Structure 1
Amino acid sequence: MIAVIAEVRVKDGAESDFVAVVEALSRRVHEHEPGNLMYRLTRSPSETRQYKFIELYADGAALRAHGESPHFRASLDSMEGLLDGAPRIEYLDVVHLGE
């Protein structure tokens, strides 16, 4: 499994538009990406323009399918004017603990 943490900062006043884009994206991820095991958006309680996506994929193929999907590409275009800077993305290997 592969985990992804993507951190973004949203422009002031663009928070509700950003959340709407992510809400539509999240629905499509759940409907069309069986290899996606978790797709959540979180927000800092102290810095309300700071968000983190927490994602979990079955394998590298599932992660690639997400990145190449039309719904993900369209959401990137929609987010472009809403973000305050480039996203910071971290890819992590999941450690299996006797599961």
Structure 2
Amino acid sequence: MIAVIMHVRTKPDKTQRFIELTTQLQKDVRANEPDTLLFQVLQSQDDANAFVFTEFFTTMQAKEEHALRPYHVAMSADGYACLDGDPDIRCFDHLGEAAITGVPA
């Protein structure tokens, strides 16, 4: 399983548009990507322009295909135009079976 954590900041005048885009993207991912186990966008309670994406994919192929989906491609340019700076994207591997199943090791 592959985990991706992405931190982004939005331009204050683009925050609402970013929320609209990512809310729709979450719906599209959940409806069309069974190998994306979790796709959640979170907004900071302390800073309305700070967001975190949490994404879990069953395989590296699922992660790579995610960004190529038509709905993702269609919103990407508009979404990136909302950002204030570059996103901080990091990929992680799960450690142990307990991290995957939630069952104590």
Q: TM (normalized to structure 1)?
A: 0.92
Give the aligned CA root-mean-square deviation in angstroms: 1.2
Point out where structure 1 has 5 or more consecutive residues left out of the alignment. Answer: none
Q: In 2, distance between residues paired with 1:47 and 1:26?
A: 21
Point out where structure 2 has 5 or more consecutive residues left out of the alignment. Answer: none
- 1:88 has 2:83 as partner: no
Q: TM (normalized to structure 2)?
A: 0.87
The count of corresponding residues between Structure 1 and Structure 2 is 99
Counterpart code for 2:70: P
Shift in Å at residue 97 of structure 1? 3.7
- Corresponding residue of 2:69: 69
- 1:12 has 2:12 as partner: yes
Query: Comparing both structures, which one devotes a greater share of its residues to helix?
Result: 2
Larger radius of gyration: 2
Runs of 4+ residues deviating >4 angstroms: none
Q: Identical aligned pairs, as a percentage?
A: 27
